[in-house]
Chain A
Amino acid sequence: MTVQPEAQISAPIADLESDSLLGDFPEGPRLVGTLCAQCGQTMIGTRVACSTCVSRDVSRIALPATGVLYSFTRLHVGGTDVRPIGYVDLDDGVRTLADLREDGAPLQPDVRVALGVDGDGWFFAPAADD
């Protein structure tokens, strides 16, 4: 029988250590993204492999703080509270689900929105320059 190299040991990923999408960056608090050095794909969150090319040569980046609201809804929670949420297409093309605030311009598809931070929480609201 031919002797083969010892089997590779795969390692678990400690993806439960932090589930916050908000991170500290030199430019301030931003959503955490991952950039693939191999194919250039940008992804939401902390990832260990590229979902396009499966490369593990990926790094943590700050995602843009502005984007366009693709769609949204106001969730009626427990029949009383109303929680607006929506999908935001960030300026680098990454889509994220986000809590929304609508104390500025009215929410509608295609409005420009900007990241806001409130303590440990974050949200998007219509951008001030729109």
Chain B
Amino acid sequence: MTENVYVVSAAMIPFGKHRTSSYVGLAVSPLIDALQSAGVQKSDVDAVYVGHAYGGMMTGQRITKEIGLGTVPTVNIDNACSGGATALHEAWMAIGQGLIDVAVVIGVEKLTQFGGGTLPLSPEDREVKQGIVMPAVYAMRATRYLHDTEATVEDLALVSVKARRHGALNPFAQFRKEVTVEEVLAARSIADPLTLLMCCPTGDGAAVIVLASERARNRLGTPRGMRVAASVLHSGQVAEGYRDMTKPEITYESAHDAYAQAGIGPGELDMIETHDAFSIAELVYYEALGLTEKQSAVALLRDGRTTFGGDVVVNPSGGLLAKGHPVGASGVAQVAEAFWQLTGQAGARQVTDARWALTHVTGGGTAGLDHGACTIHIFEAA
């Protein structure tokens, strides 16, 4: 990349069940708020990138037309849960290569349209035809992790307890009530050993960020923001046979590339927003993101090293477990959280002196792949 790229504003609606809002209704307010807080006029915007999975045709154009933001390229991107972060990656590439100066990135999803239950997956996929659903994938990961390590089902519950404790501090979170280990374990079973409270909720959401080149940032005079220190997008590689489900290699490899690009190691991070769609995910991602050795994640959790006051605060927003996971919106919402943390706007959940942040989101249940996509971003306060 030849140009530095900056996030200059962020906006989002609280995640939740917004049954009376369409995709447009979800996204227009944060779109206007993000533009205004960045001091960006419509005429400043060179391109719009929109991540979603279930929005249908022209999701982005349906949103932007409401404020007359047309003419410029609008790119709709589906990469399952990685859609929003993939949209950011594409915007970063365009600005970084000097092709454009200002880009709007929208992540939006309305999951209440499905009336509950597990995410609809592609009926063309071999394992989907056999009945696989995302909770089952993570449940099998959990079963194997509990078999291979000293982790217990109480540790899986402890992840949810931490997420809910963080989410209680976040006005954007879908769930704002703390829970106990006992309550998590007593919740109804979804896919053993995962209970309802170990699974992210169904909900709706939208988040918007504005990206700018250094030149545009200086012109706009935005006072605070963060530099995109790394932007990495990987796709899954097929395995016809054995795959270690406790070692999600797409995240290991993406993290390796992201740290190399940013020129830092995991020890320098102040906060992480990771893809904790199910509680087991957070444990395996501690390892994949290099916070600890393989099979040793529970020590970080039990010792409080990944909550406020610890080495690095993982999911200060409450993560997907508490904040919610409207899939296409989640990757952008993670970046919004990083923006507020690195610019001191995170209120009661502010991570002290936060300078470096990492966001991580995987996407897609597809036969033969660990995940379909993985996107990792690293940001530095600037």
Contact = CB atoms under 8 A, between A and B. Distances in A.
B243 A95 contact: yes
B191 A73 contact: yes
Contacts of B142: 73
A75 interface: yes
Contacts of A45: 126
B130 A95 contact: no
A89 B141 CA distance: 15
A97 interface: yes
B131 A85 contact: yes
Interface in A51-109: 51-52, 70-76, 79, 83, 85-87, 89, 93-95, 97-99, 108-109
B181 interface: no
Given A71-B140, A73-B140, A79-B188, A108 B240 contact: no
Contacts of B131: 75, 83, 85, 99
Contact of A19 (B129, B191, B192, B240): B129
A42 B135 CA distance: 28
A39 to B, nearest CB: 11
B98 to A, nearest CB: 36
A12 to B, nearest CB: 14
Contact of A73 (B192, B239, B243, B367): B192
Contact of B140 (A72, A83, A99): A72
A43 interface: yes
Given A19-B129, A76-B188, A79-B188, A93 B241 contact: yes
Interface in B219-248: 238-243, 245
Interface in B119-137: 126-127, 129-133, 135-136
B245 A73 contact: no
Contacts of A48: none
B264 interface: no
A89 B241 contact: yes
A47 to B, nearest CB: 10
Majority DSSP secondary structure for residues of A touching B: strand
A36 to B, nearest CB: 10
A73 B143 contact: yes
Contacts of A93: 240-242
A83 B191 CA distance: 9
A52 B130 CA distance: 24
Contacts of B191: 73-76
Nearest to B128: A97
A122 to B, nearest CB: 10
Given A44-B240, A93-B242, A75 B135 contact: yes
B149 to A, nearest CB: 12
B345 interface: no
Interface in A22-45: 41-45
A85 B238 CA distance: 21
Counting chain B CB atoms within 10 Å of each CB, the highest count among A72, A83, A89 belongs to: A72
Given A71-B143, A97-B132, 14 more contacts: A21-B130, A73-B191, A73-B193, A74-B189, A74-B191, A76-B189, A79-B188, A85-B130, A87-B245, A89-B241, A94-B241, A95-B240, A97-B127, A108-B147
Interface of A: 19, 21, 41-45, 51-52, 70-76, 79, 83, 85-87, 89, 93-95, 97-99, 108-110
